[in-house]
Amino acid sequence: MSSPPNPPTLHVKLGLVASLLYAANGVLRTLCTQRNMKVHWVSGLAVMLVGMALPLELASRASVLFCVLIVIAMEVLNTALEAFVDLHVRQYEKHAMIAKDAAAAAVLIFAIGAVVVFADVLFHRWWMVTRSMEAVWRTIWFGSPLLAATAIVLWMPRKVPAIVALGLGSIGLLTYLAFHSRDEIFSAGALAFVLAASLARLREPQLL
């Protein structure tokens, strides 16, 4: 009688670079698999574009950036908790439901808070928006197709040529907007959002 095959060995790489790669894979995997993360990602990119167009002061820039990043981080943590619960609970369990619902509620609260902070920044500096209408219209005309292309990349059936074409088109639109940008950090953030969306879909078979 033959013995059952040995389970595959899990090879764990150590070191700072490996840790960073694992963390990046966690973000990209969440982006591939979670609908809410895709919504947060496109919304975060939209905020980056607004930050590129408006001459916000340091406190407002820091607040907006922090809100975007904390929502993304909370969605990653929520995904981790759901995966952990699913790993250990194979059937309906009330405490598992409570854990999942509470984690989702935390993400929702942070998302609402981010919207409130962003709206408050714009409301109390509306004069800044009215004085930057040229930049606002430029962002609408070039940012709208950029957001649409990123959304298509995240939700479309995986086709490498289409992902590459949309990604390059998005970078082209972003390059034009970055040339007129009021803030390099927001420009770099927008580029990171665009690249991560394309990279997540291109690496999807290896991530799942």
Q: Which residues are catalytic?
A: 75
Cβ atoms 71, 106 nearer than 8 A: no
Distance of CA 197 to the CA centre of its chain: 8
d(CA 155, CA 173): 20
| Length of the chain in terms of residues written | 208
Show Cβ contacts of residue 142 under 8 Å, excluding neighbours closer than 6 positions.
173, 176, 177
Contacts for 26-29: CB closer than 8 Å, 24+ residues apart: 26/76, 26/80, 27/72, 27/76, 27/196, 28/196, 28/199, 28/200, 28/203, 28/207, 29/200, 29/207, 29/208
Give me 18's structure tokens: 């490996």
HSE value, Cβ hemisphere, 13 Å, CA-based, for 29: 15
